[in-house]
Amino acid sequence: MADLTSKFCGISSPNPFWLASAPPTDKEYNVRRAFDAGWGGVVWKTLGMEGAPIVNVNGPRYGAIWGADRRLLGLNNIELITDRPLEINLEEMARVKKDFPDRALIASVMVPCEEPCWKEIIPRIAETGVDGFELNFGCPHGMSERGMGSAVGQVPDYIEMVTAWVKNATALPVIVKLTPNITNIIHPATAAKAGGADAVSLINTITSITSVDLETMAPEPMIDGKGTAGGYCGPAVKPIALNMVAQIARTDATKGLPISGIGGVTTWRDAAEFMALGAGNVQVCTAAMTYGFAIIDELTSGLALWMDDRGYKRVDDFIGNAVPNVTDWQYLNLNYTAKARIDQDLCIGCGRCYAACEDTSHQAISMTKDRIFEVIDAECVACNLCVNVCPVEDCITMETLAPGTTDPRTGVKIPKEHGDWTSHPNNPNAK
Amino acid sequence: MTNTGIAANRLNRAQLNECFADLHAPLDAHEAAVAADRCYFCYDAPCVTACPTGIDIPLFIRQISTGMADAAARTIFDSNILGGMCARVCPVENLCEGACVREEAERDPVQIGRLQRHATDRLMAQKTHPYQRAENTGKNVAVVGGGAAGLAAAHRLALLGIDAHILESREKLGGLNEYGIAAYKVVNDFAQKEVEWLLQIGGITHQCGVMLGRDFTLESLLAEFDAVFLGVGLGDTRDLGIDGADSPNVTPATEFIADLRQASALEKVAIGRRVVVIGGGMTAIDAAVQSKLLGASEVTIAYRRGASDMPASQYEQDLALSKGVQMRFHATPQKMEKTSAGIKVHFAVKGDDDFALEADQIFTAIGQVLDPPPPDIAVENGKIKIDAQHKTSMDGVWAGGDCTGLGDDITVTAVAHGRDAAIEIHNSLTGGKHG
């Protein structure tokens, strides 16, 4: 059986599945339930300054989009950081850590961008016995209007500065949580590294409006007729998160910086994908909020079974294995040629491939009167749209044309050697 | 079940209400959204091709899934003004749902019939009629027969600005929808409600209890109207033509079905303890199942050919079996004889031993035939002959539905005929083109 134990920037946990800082980790009751269920770690809901507690709205905090059968695909929220007194949170954290010494307990923190604030709170939190800190530079709603959260995460200089303050205040590992609401994730990640961060975690939520109530002409979630941008998460954001994780993992400036992958992790496979792209572990929130803590059994058993099948003994055996295969467009092999193939035995005759290709692509699928659909090799550019719209898995596949054969579309014999844009004759800057 | 012979009140009203409840309960909004989401929006969709009225099914399902069930209903009614009835009575397993690619993929088609009902029920419940008539053309047409073909023709004529006058031989409009379909498919008097809703378009008048050949002739109609549409259906039932079949307890299944539909209370409908239904179509199934639901203890369908030859769909056969109806195949009735305990029917069985069934009541469902057609109207293979434009051999007379050679004894086909004939009549009378 595969060993799922995880060591992430020095922090051990029995498996690489942590609950992200969010409502599920706001108090002892929830966190105990999570640990009882088997979660490897918890990033406690973001702690703020001592004093008058944070207030939240007293109406809907969440908006959503759904797929078939109301399957939750995307969720956004306008909830702020913990609205419970700091002292209570700290007491609870200490108790939980004592009872679950083998689990990772991380404190998420967000205080104003002033050194004394951080210097004061970090040692206090450390007394609870937490394993590390996560600096919340990511939340895009509410707190950002007060100069915190993503307001910090959008300014690399601030990230570096605050990270350095925190590193000076503690010997524990410091994880910097990044906002995706920026143009290039490398800049904030580089700043975190420069500030001394032990790791980054990403992505925090994406600024969003999930829907508009067309009766009231107000965005959702709506509070007394008005709405505001909230942070978007859930399965819908996974592709954005995967790319940002991969960018950090493969860019020289940030390569090697431990990454905690966040963003729509719903199944073991999502976790494996994040980790293959360089995430040392993953954090989960929306899936737990949708289905409850019991999904941890699917996550751990699925990952372990897949690792056994692939012969991976430890998570380190596959972490980052897909990173070398992420590259720039300019290095893609333009000599590689494929053609779509339709398996007539699997085809159910819906014609979606035909409509997609005929109406919106390359007119490379033919249709007979009795609904036989076939690929016209002389037109097919192997764009994959037919594969993506076909409702039957594996009915349409891409077949690689062997080097030496002639592409019926171009009449060109497919070369054996790699040939990309950097050396392409049409590229004015070709070497 | 101690009642012998033929008796009413075998079950009490509560039991009967349960037995005769809606066969396919309507989908609620969420169920409809889930069901609609399964549609692949096929290109040149096979379900549309399979629908005799050519409803744009992928479009109406997409409209349901986007929360626009009323728009979906409009899409349905544009092609089939009796879309509400067809959603209930169409043998969808042989038509749209049978052609659905998910039937091919998973043996589990999109629930097109129930989705259609979801949309049409909603719009019809709004009490307003969704169509407005075109400017009056000053033309008028006599529609003979107030069944599916006649109603569809009248509505389309009215829509196109032509006044229609329906002449119906029975007491109510609706035809087989009112008199010829199992009660559990058309609960809550839906057939009459649908007629009332359809007539709201205006420009349609009707007269019931009048019969072609008895109360009026084609000539008299042609003198009064600009054209005539014949949608008279099949009025007569085939005889078994065997000895002993003249007993009063041997009756056409169609009469039983009609009586049941018209009964003021189901418990008043008398049924035999042992019932034999001879035939293999939808009428045979409807009669057998309803006999069972009324409380008959033994109901047998005897069909002269095999199960796969049955005109009734597999779904209908399974329904009958699930209600406890027994099926005997390759059984051809030879003679009937009166016994002390009822009637004994002797069957010859192809390639097997002959057998006999004793019953209190026997229903025949071996097909219907055209009432003697009006003189001067050409008939082919026992049905009124029409061309591709639904024109009969007589000038000014069009026809459609079961009474014609193009009919196939299902409501939806009759609707298509009525609609298309109306368009042809409109084009002929106005010289205009209307697709």
Domain boundary among A325, A358, A392: A325
E strand or H helix at B397: strand B397-399
Using a CB-CB cut-off of 8 Å, the residues of chain A touching B46 are: 349, 371
Instruction: Judge contact between B333 and B355, C-beta under 8 A.
Output: no
Using a CB-CB cut-off of 8 Å, the residues of chain B touching A343 are: none
Chain A residues within 8 A (CB-CB) of chain B?
A: 68-70, 348-352, 354-355, 367, 371, 391-392
Q: Is A187 exposed, middle or buried (0-12, 13-18, 19+ CB in 10 A)?
A: middle
Q: Among B34, B37, B104, select the one facing A348 at the smallest CB separation.
A: B104
Q: Which of A135-139, B236-240, B276-280, B370-374 has the highest mean pLDDT?
A: B276-280
Cα of B15 to nearest chain A Cα, Å: 35
Cβ count near B411 (within 10 Å) = 28
Is A376 contained in some domain? yes
Do A352 and B105 make contact, defined as CB atoms within 8 angstroms?
no
- Is A243 in a helix, a strand, or coil? helix
A297 token code pair: 């059994």
φ/ψ of residue A386, rounded to 5: -60, -40
pLDDT at position B409: 84
By mean pLDDT, which of A10-19, A132-141, B425-434 is the weakest?
B425-434
| B1 confidence band (pLDDT: 50, 70, 90) | very low
pLDDT at position A138: 86
Chain B residues within 8 A (CB-CB) of chain A?
A: 30, 33-34, 37-38, 40-46, 101-102, 104-105
Amino acid at A341: R
**Domain range for residue A414?**
329-423
Place of tokens 């070497």: A431
Do B41 and A352 make contact, defined as CB atoms within 8 angstroms?
yes
Do residues A273 and A205 both lie within one domain? yes
pLDDT at position B100: 98
- Of B218, B53, B157, B170, the residue nearest B421 (C-alpha): B157
Cα(B395)–Cα(B380) distance, rounded to whole angstroms? Answer: 17
> At CA B301, angle to CA B297 and CA B304, rounded to 5?
160
Domain boundary among A325, A349, A381: A325
Do residues A142 and A191 both lie within one domain? yes
**What percent helix, strand, coil does chain B show, rounded to 5?**
40, 20, 40
- Of A375, A374, A376, A379, the residue nearest A362 (C-alpha): A379
Do residues A151 and A16 both lie within one domain? yes
Cα of A351 to nearest chain B Cα, Å: 5
* CATH code, domain carrying A58: 3.20.20.70
pLDDT at position B92: 96
Question: What mean pLDDT, rounded, does chain B reach?
Answer: 94
Is A429 contained in some domain? no
pLDDT at position B2: 44
Q: Among A349, A352, A355, select the one facing B104 at the smallest CB separation.
A: A349
φ/ψ of residue A137, rounded to 5: -105, 30
- Of B111, B208, B91, the residue nearest B150 (C-alpha): B208
Do B40 and A355 make contact, defined as CB atoms within 8 angstroms?
no
B243 token code pair: 């000895």
Q: Which residue of A has its CA nearest to B58?
A: A350
Cα(B302)–Cα(B321) distance, rounded to whole angstroms? Answer: 13
Q: Among B30, B33, B42, select the one facing A350 at the smallest CB separation.
A: B42
Q: Give tens-digit pLDDT for A119-152.
A: 999 999 999 999 999 999 988 888 889 988 889 9
pLDDT at A291 over 80: yes
Q: Give tens-digit pLDDT for B212-257.
A: 999 999 999 999 999 999 999 998 888 888 999 999 999 999 999 9
DSSP string, A143-158: GGGGT-THHHHT-HHH
Cβ count near A141 (within 10 Å) = 21
Q: Give tens-digit pLDDT for B59-106.
A: 999 999 999 999 999 999 999 999 999 999 999 999 999 999 999 999
Do residues A154 and A32 both lie within one domain? yes
Instruction: Judge contact between A271 and A16, C-beta under 8 A.
Output: yes
Using a CB-CB cut-off of 8 Å, the residues of chain B touching A391 are: 40, 105
Q: Give tens-digit pLDDT for B286-315.
A: 999 999 999 999 999 999 999 999 999 999
Cα of B306 to nearest chain A Cα, Å: 30
Do B42 and A354 make contact, defined as CB atoms within 8 angstroms?
no
Cα of A302 to nearest chain B Cα, Å: 27
Instruction: Judge contact between B399 and B388, C-beta under 8 A.
Output: no
Do residues A313 and A346 both lie within one domain? no
Cα of B391 to nearest chain A Cα, Å: 30
Can you tell me the mean pLDDT for A199-227?
96
What residues have CB less than 8 Å from A341, skipping those under 6 apart?
A: A375, A396, A397, A398, A399
DSSP string, B300-325: EEE-SS-GGG-SS-HHHHHHHHHTT-
Q: Which residue of A has its CA nearest to B46?
A: A350
Instruction: Judge contact between A142 and A133, C-beta under 8 A.
Output: no
Is A428 contained in some domain? no
Do residues A213 and A345 both lie within one domain? no
Q: Give tens-digit pLDDT for A149-188.
A: 889 999 999 999 999 999 999 999 999 999 999 999 999 9
Do A350 and B44 make contact, defined as CB atoms within 8 angstroms?
no
Is A418 contained in some domain? yes
Do B43 and A355 make contact, defined as CB atoms within 8 angstroms?
yes
A69 token code pair: 């059968």
Do residues A288 and A214 both lie within one domain? yes
φ/ψ of residue A87, rounded to 5: -60, -45
* CATH code, domain carrying A353: 3.30.70.20
- Angle separating helix axes B148-159 and B190-199, nearest 10 degrees: 20
Please give the DSSP secondary-structure letter assigned to residue B364. Answer: E
Do A69 and B37 make contact, defined as CB atoms within 8 angstroms?
yes
Can you tell me the mean pLDDT for A58-62?
95
Q: Is A123 exposed, middle or buried (0-12, 13-18, 19+ CB in 10 A)?
A: exposed
Using a CB-CB cut-off of 8 Å, the residues of chain A touching B40 are: 350, 352, 391
- Kindly state the percentage of chain A with pLDDT values over 90: 95
Q: Among B33, B37, B44, select the one facing A351 at the smallest CB separation.
A: B44
Is A187 contained in some domain? yes
Do A349 and B102 make contact, defined as CB atoms within 8 angstroms?
no
Query: What counts of helices (H) and strands (E) characterise chain A?
Result: 12, 22
pLDDT at position A271: 98
User: Measured in Å, how far apart are chain B's first and last C-alpha atoms?
Assistant: 58
- Is B77 in a helix, a strand, or coil? helix
Is A29 contained in some domain? yes
Using a CB-CB cut-off of 8 Å, the residues of chain A touching B45 are: 351
What is the sign, positive or negative, of the torsion defined by CA atoms of A256, A260, A265, A267?
positive
Do residues A199 and A279 both lie within one domain? yes
Instruction: Judge contact between A409 and A378, C-beta under 8 A.
Output: yes
Q: Give tens-digit pLDDT for B5-48.
A: 899 999 999 999 999 999 888 999 999 999 999 999 999 999 99
Using a CB-CB cut-off of 8 Å, the residues of chain B touching A215 are: none
Do residues A225 and A307 both lie within one domain? yes
- Domains belonging to chain B, first-starting first, are 29-124 (1.10.1060.10), 140-235+370-430 (3.50.50.60), 237-368 (3.50.50.60)
Do A367 and B43 make contact, defined as CB atoms within 8 angstroms?
yes
Cα(B63)–Cα(B367) distance, rounded to whole angstroms? Answer: 39
Using a CB-CB cut-off of 8 Å, the residues of chain A touching B30 are: 70
Is A338 contained in some domain? yes
Q: Which residue of B has its CA nearest to A350?
A: B42
Q: Give tens-digit pLDDT for A247-260.
A: 999 999 999 999 99
Is A262 contained in some domain? yes
Domain boundary among A325, A344, A368: A325
| B435 confidence band (pLDDT: 50, 70, 90) | low
pLDDT at B197 over 70: yes
Do residues A333 and A297 both lie within one domain? no
Cβ count near A129 (within 10 Å) = 14
Do residues A102 and A221 both lie within one domain? yes
Instruction: Judge contact between B324 and B299, C-beta under 8 A.
Output: yes
| B387 confidence band (pLDDT: 50, 70, 90) | very high
Please give the DSSP secondary-structure letter assigned to residue A122. Answer: H
Do A391 and B105 make contact, defined as CB atoms within 8 angstroms?
yes
Cα of B116 to nearest chain A Cα, Å: 19
Q: Among B33, B43, B46, select the one facing A354 at the smallest CB separation.
A: B43
Using a CB-CB cut-off of 8 Å, the residues of chain B touching A348 are: 101-102, 104-105
Do A349 and B42 make contact, defined as CB atoms within 8 angstroms?
yes
Q: What total of structural domains would you count in chain A?
A: 2
Do A350 and B101 make contact, defined as CB atoms within 8 angstroms?
yes
Using a CB-CB cut-off of 8 Å, the residues of chain A touching B34 are: 68-69
Cα of A350 to nearest chain B Cα, Å: 5
Residues of A assigned a catalytic role: 139
Q: Give tens-digit pLDDT for B142-168.
A: 999 999 999 999 999 999 999 999 999
Compute CA distances A194 → A113, A189, A257, A278, B376, whole Å.
Answer: 17, 9, 11, 20, 101
Q: Which residue of B has its CA nearest to A392?
A: B105
| B434 confidence band (pLDDT: 50, 70, 90) | low
Do residues A364 and A274 both lie within one domain? no
Instruction: Judge contact between A19 and A43, C-beta under 8 A.
Output: yes
